[in-house]
Chain A
Amino acid sequence: MNLENEKPNGGGKRRSASQWAVAWRRFRRNKAGVAGLVIVLAVVFIGIFGDFIAPYPAYPANGAFGPFYKGDVRTAPNSHYLMGTDVLGTDVFSDILHGTKFALYVGVVVTIITMAIAILVGAVAGYFGSWVDNVLMRITEVFLVFPSLLFILIFVRVFTLGGGAGSSFNFLGISVPFGLTIVVVVLAIFNWPGDARMIRGEFLRVRELEFVEAEKALGAGNRRIIFRHILPNILSSIIVVASLTIAYAILLEAGVSFLGFGDVSTMTWGQILENNFSDMRIVWWAEVFPGLAILITVFGFNLLGDGLSDALNPRLRD
Chain B
Amino acid sequence: MTETLLKVEGLKTYFYTEAGIVKAVDGVSFDVRKGETLGLVGESGSGKTVTSLSVLRIVPKPGRIVEGKIELKGENLLAKSEKEMQSIRGREIAMIFQDPSSSLVPVYTVETQLRDVLSAHEKISKDDAHKKILDLMNLVGIPEAEIRMREFPHQFSGGMKQRVAIARALALEPELLFADEPTTALDVTIQAQVLDLLEDLKKKMGMSLVMITHDMGIIAKMTSRVVVMYAGNVAEIAKTDDLYYRPRHPYTALLLAAVPRLDRKKTLSIIPGNIPNLIEPPSGCRFHPRCEFATKKCEEAPPVLEEVEPDHFVACYEWKNITLKGETGKND
Interface with B: A49-57, A103-111, A211-219, A264-272, which one? Answer: A211-219
Separation of A218 and B58 alpha carbons in the complex (Å)? 10
Contact call A218/B89, Cβ cutoff below 8 A:
yes
A224 on interface, CB distance cutoff 8 Å:
yes
Separation of A232 and B152 alpha carbons in the complex (Å)? 14
Separation of A232 and B240 alpha carbons in the complex (Å)? 45
Quick one: given A1-B101, A129-B61, A211-B106, are A219 and B152 in contact (CB under 8 Å)? no
Contact among B99, B109, B144, B157 with A8 in the assembled complex (CB-CB below 8 Å):
B144
- Min Cβ gap B282→A in Å is 30
A6 on interface, CB distance cutoff 8 Å:
yes
Contact among A6, A129, A217 with B56 in the assembled complex (CB-CB below 8 Å):
A217
B275 on interface, CB distance cutoff 8 Å:
no
Contact call B157/A216, Cβ cutoff below 8 A:
no
Interface hits, A120-178 → B, CB 8 Å: 129-130
* A5 contacts across to B, CB distance below 8 A: 151, 155
A17 on interface, CB distance cutoff 8 Å:
yes
Contact among B97, B144, B155, B171 with A213 in the assembled complex (CB-CB below 8 Å):
B97
B158 on interface, CB distance cutoff 8 Å:
yes
Most chain-B Cβ atoms within 10 A of its Cβ — which of A9, A209, A215? Answer: A215
- Min Cβ gap A204→B in Å is 12
Contact call A6/B157, Cβ cutoff below 8 A:
yes
Interface residues of A: mostly helix, strand, loop or mixed? helix
Interface residues contributed by chain A, number (CB under 8 Å): 30
Contact among B103, B151, B152, B157 with A214 in the assembled complex (CB-CB below 8 Å):
B103
- Min Cβ gap B70→A in Å is 15
- Min Cβ gap B278→A in Å is 21
B258 on interface, CB distance cutoff 8 Å:
no
* B152 contacts across to A, CB distance below 8 A: 17-19
Quick one: given A217-B95, A232-B107, are A210 and B90 in contact (CB under 8 Å)? no
A233 on interface, CB distance cutoff 8 Å:
yes
Contact call A9/B144, Cβ cutoff below 8 A:
yes
- Min Cβ gap A166→B in Å is 47
Interface hits, A160-216 → B, CB 8 Å: 209-211, 213-216
One digit per residue, 1 when the CB lies within 8 angstroms of any chain B CB and 0 when it does not, for chain A 10-45 equals: 000010011100000000000000000000000000
Contact call B106/A221, Cβ cutoff below 8 A:
no
Interface hits, B79-108 → A, CB 8 Å: 86-91, 94-99, 101-108
B154 on interface, CB distance cutoff 8 Å:
yes
Quick one: given A214-B95, A233-B105, are A219 and B86 in contact (CB under 8 Å)? yes
B324 on interface, CB distance cutoff 8 Å:
no
Contact call B147/A9, Cβ cutoff below 8 A:
yes
Which A residue's beta carbon lies closest to that of B107? A232
Q: Which 10 A-B pairs have the closest CB atoms?
A: A219-B90, A218-B90, A219-B89, A210-B102, A217-B95, A214-B103, A5-B155, A210-B103, A232-B107, A216-B58
- Residues in A lying within 8 Å of B, measured CB to CB: 1-2, 5-6, 8-9, 14, 17-19, 129-130, 209-211, 213-221, 224, 228-229, 232-233, 235
